[in-house]
Amino acid sequence: MTYREYFVTTLQRAQVPLIAGAVLPKAGSFILLLVMFGISASRAPSPELAHAVVREIGRELAQTFPILALLTARLYLAALGAVAVYGAPAYALLARIGRANWLTAAAVGIAPGIAAFLVGIYPSGRLADANYTVGPMVMLSGVFIALATHTLMPDAAPEATTRAAARGSTFRRLSRVFVLAAILGQTWTLFVRHTPLGEDFAALQVVGDIAVYVAPFLLAAFGCALYSYHLAPRPRGTAPLIEMVVLLGVGAALTEPVVRILRF
């Protein structure tokens, strides 16, 4: 393949993580709002008040959905611009010279975050004005997009011998990247939230962060793992099942704070 072909292919395959990275957190936010509103309606002291709450919920959701859609579109377009200007050209060059692998793809994703981190530390030349959140967010997002794009590239599953086996291998790798995204999302929430659980609204913040940055990616990972298992040729063996059990264990560990909060 020529450099141009690698560039076009990279840009095409990057659409999956770009859309997933933009849509999944906002979908988690919307579902969280539905759950919270549903709990409020269920606790209304009378049917009349419950109906009033439901009507108010409908109005709130009607106003919230366009805002979430606009934020999702803006996030996607910003990430697409970064991929088109930097990510796709850099990865295409690595692929063209035969140096595209998991390590170099991760490096491509991390580099913009390092630059954003340095800019965030010194936005006005004064350390007191430092913004320490932009760099890590760009870094974690870049790693997810870069590794998912590498997973979806045609040469990422050379051991597959049939089309179905190739798709299954790709989705198995993609499930692992989504699990990594959930772990990175949990890392992000721990980095941003320094409020002890005993303080006001801290528990709600933890539940909200996990619902937005962790749970959607875990569900995507499990969906990819199930589809990969469906495509795997028989006999499938025990390895895919063991991997799904490990996936469930990681998901349980990441969402354990929510369970602990709900118990109390």
In a domain, 37, yes or no: no
In a domain, 179, yes or no: yes
Nearest to 16 by CA among 138, 171, 121: 171
* pLDDT above 90 (res 217): yes
Range among 174-183, 194-203, 228-237 with highest mean pLDDT value:
174-183
In a domain, 223, yes or no: yes
Q: Which domain holds residue 229?
A: 157-259
Q: What is the pLDDT of residue 12?
A: 92
Mean pLDDT of 146-155: 88
Q: Hey, how many other C-beta atoms are within 10 angstroms of the C-beta on 104?
A: 16
In a domain, 76, yes or no: no
Quote the percentage of the chain above a pLDDT of 70.
Answer: 80
Question: 66 versus 87: which is more confidently predicted?
Answer: 87
In a domain, 171, yes or no: yes
Query: What Cα–Cα distance (Å) separates residue 45 from each residue in 33, 34, 39, 42, 101?
Result: 21, 19, 12, 9, 59
In a domain, 187, yes or no: yes
3-state helix, strand, coil in the chain (%, to 5): 85, 0, 15
Q: What is the pLDDT of residue 262?
A: 61
Interatomic CA distance for residues 178 and 57, integer angstroms: 32
Q: What is the pLDDT of residue 134?
A: 76
Residue 254: band (very low, low, confident or very high) from pLDDT cuts 50, 70, 90: confident
Report pTM. 0.82
Mean pLDDT of 224-243: 84
* pLDDT above 80 (res 251): yes
Nearest to 131 by CA among 121, 140, 144: 121
Render pLDDT for 188-204 as a digit per residue (tens, 0 to 9): 877 665 545 555 456 66
Q: What is the pLDDT of residue 97?
A: 92
In a domain, 166, yes or no: yes
Per the CB < 8 A criterion, the answer to whether 91 and 150 are in contact is yes
In a domain, 80, yes or no: no
When divided into structural domains, the chain yields a total of: 1
Per the CB < 8 A criterion, the answer to whether 221 and 247 are in contact is yes
